[in-house]
Structures are given as C-alpha cells and as structure tokens.
A and B are shown apart, each in its own frame.
Chain A
Amino acid sequence: NAGVTQTPKFRILKIGQSMTLQCTQDMNHNYMYWYRQDPGMGLKLIYYSVGAGITDKGEVPNGYNVSRSTTEDFPLRLELAAPSQTSVYFCASTGDMNTEAFFGQGTRLTVV
C-alpha cells in the first residue's frame, strides 16, 4: 500500500520556468490537498479538492493551478516560478473529513 506519493522529491527551477508537482494516492480518497511549508513555519493550504472534477482555493492559491480529473491524481502546476515559491510542498488525502489525513513525503522546490 503506497499511500500518497509525490514526485519529484527535489527540484531546482529558474525564475519564469514552469513545472508540475505530481501527487497520487491509492486509497480511493475523495479529499486531496496541497500545502506549502516555508522554513520554520506551519503548513499553508494552497488548493484542495473534495472529489474528481471539484477543486477550490485555499489560503495561498496565487501562482498555482490544480486539476482533479481522476480520484487518484491531484497535480499542482506552477506556471511562472518566482523565488517566493521556494518551499516544501506537501500533498495529502483523506477519505472523510473526520478521519485521518495521509501525507506524502514532500517536494523540496528551490526557485533561483
């Protein structure tokens, strides 16, 4: 049982480049989330999804886009990378709101 898998684990981007952070889960969870975590800070919710085809903004959505075409996958897209997007990104999923959420191992992104 793989749980929540994020790829890549590390990435260095140049300013203005674009990339997609991949997240997939094999638990048939409806709810999926993307967070960013800056050094020494808590997690900030970027986007979330309550099911395939449904996404909504979190606290810090600017500069990011998401899609949810399947239950398993929830990719996060950065179109024009900026140094302010240097952070660790975590994807998570949960089957129901009152059950535990499972997190991926994170993607460490540096924009230079």
Chain B
Amino acid sequence: LAKTTQPISMDSYEGQEVNITCSHNNIATNDYITWYQQFPSQGPRFIIQGYKTKVTNEVASLFIPADRKSSTLSLPRVSLSDTAVYYCLVVSLTDSWGKLQFGAGTQVVVTP
C-alpha cells in the first residue's frame, strides 16, 4: 500500500486559495488518489478522486503530475467553513486489495 505524506497543518485567510500537496512516491500503476474532508465530530466526507492530470468538481481541483508521485488538492477561495482536516489516500486496486487506510491528514484553519 503506497504511503502518503502531507503537511500536518496549514493556515489561510478567507478568500484565498489553499493548496495541499501529498507525496506518494511508491504509487502503483493501478492506484487512485482520493481526498477526504473531516469536520470535528463527523465522519470523513469524500471530496475528489483522480488517476492522472487534473480533475475538477464543484468543491475542489486535484492536480496530478505525469509521474503521479505527488498530488495537490486545491481549494479555491476558502471560507471559514472549509476549516477541517483533509486526508490524502492512495486507493489500491491490486496490492492490499480492499484496504482503505487514512494517514494523519492536514489540519486547515481558515481565519477571517
């Protein structure tokens, strides 16, 4: 299972763009990159998933370079309600089939 590394915390002001980079150097060919968001006292919520290049939805964008050894979650124009922990996961369709493991995540704090 590919190990992920992401910053422990990030601070931002309202209206700014927040970019969280996750390293996954030993990602395998069939692995997907998935991001979750967790608010206090709630279970994580799926944000976005990608395999390569760029994926965008109404919440965020996910940038994945050609070598796929890292990925960047981009949150445009954050608000106070974006304060949460963000988890980067590598989902394996071959190795460790079935496991869904979370790391420590990145605590994002948005202030006025």
Contact = CB atoms under 8 A, between A and B. Distances in A.
A-B pairs, 7 with minimum CB distance? A103-B43, A100-B46, A50-B98, A43-B102, A42-B104, A98-B32, A90-B43
Contacts of A101: 36, 44, 46, 100
Give the interface size bracket for A toward B.
20 to 34
A25 interface: no
Contacts of B43: 4, 90, 92, 103-106
B93 to A, nearest CB: 5
Decide if the interface of chain B is mainly helix, strand, loop or mixed. Answer: loop
Interface string A34-58: 0100000111110011100000101
A97 B93 CA distance: 6
A63 B98 CA distance: 22
A17 to B, nearest CB: 24
Contacts of A31: 98, 100
